[in-house]
Amino acid sequence: KFPGLRTYVDPHTYEDPSQAVHEFAKELDSACISIDKVIGAGEFGEVCSGRLKLPSKKEISVAIKTLKVGYTEKQRRDFLSEASIMGQFEHPNIIRLEGVVTKSKPVMIVTEYMENGSLDTFLRKHDAQFTVIQLVGMLRGIASGMKYLSDMGYVHRDLAARNILINSNLVCKVSDFGLSRVLEDDPEAAYTTRVRKTLYNNVLYWMRTTQRIHLS
């Protein structure tokens, strides 16, 4: 484990879910955020690209998830729980949370921007254009991120190429924590071992399928 590695805390264990958000996510002033364009849609609303300019800091590109109009309190709680989860992680292969907007509308989750989007779409678009070394580098990044989550006592539960984002340097980062769950301390936790054993095979399968790699 990493020195000083924390243990994941399930935000659903908080009596007041907003307390988890305030504990693990930074509140951003919406005036510091500018939205450029819509790049996708999720379960709770739109996903946009934009910029974040905090006082005394350099402007950075970000991805912005917005909560749709007319949301219920449960939808708001579920939407922000992902931020409560992401805010606990700090690893080069886990998508970085920049902060949230909860005190004004629309409610937002702001993360780092990954220029090349999801891994599945990226590999299909650039079919057979990467070397085995490059692909193994992507694989190692994903495995490193997943091991970090496992070491924190956390299971993602929806590992798929569509939930891996890739930046301009071909660094892969695990994202989409909406279906994730904490590992319970019981005999069934042996599932973690099976996840670790199959992780490399699953990701390599993506690479082989989309890039037509034949290792012999």
DSSP three-state, residue 8: coil
Sequence-ordered list of residues with C-beta below 8 angstroms from that of 140, at least 6 positions apart, any chain? none
Contact 59, 99 (CB under 8 A): no
CA triple 98-100-105, angle to 5 deg: 140
* Euclidean distance between CA atoms 132 and 138, whole angstroms: 10
SS3 123: helix
**Could you give the CA distance from residue 14 to residue 155 in angstroms, rounded to a whole number?**
19
Q: Is 103 annotated as a binding residue?
A: no
Q: In sequence order, which ranges of 13-107 are alpha helices (DSSP H)?
A: 17-24, 73-86
Instruction: Report the alpha-carbon distance of residue 25 to residue 9 in Å, rounded.
Output: 13
CB count within 10 Å of CB 64 equals: 26
Q: Which of 174, 159, 173, 157 is nearest to 206 (CA)?
A: 159
3 φ/ψ sector (left φ>0, alpha ψ -120 to 50, else beta): beta
Positions marked active-site? 158
In the annotated binding site for ATP, the residues are: 65
In the annotated binding site, the residues are: 65
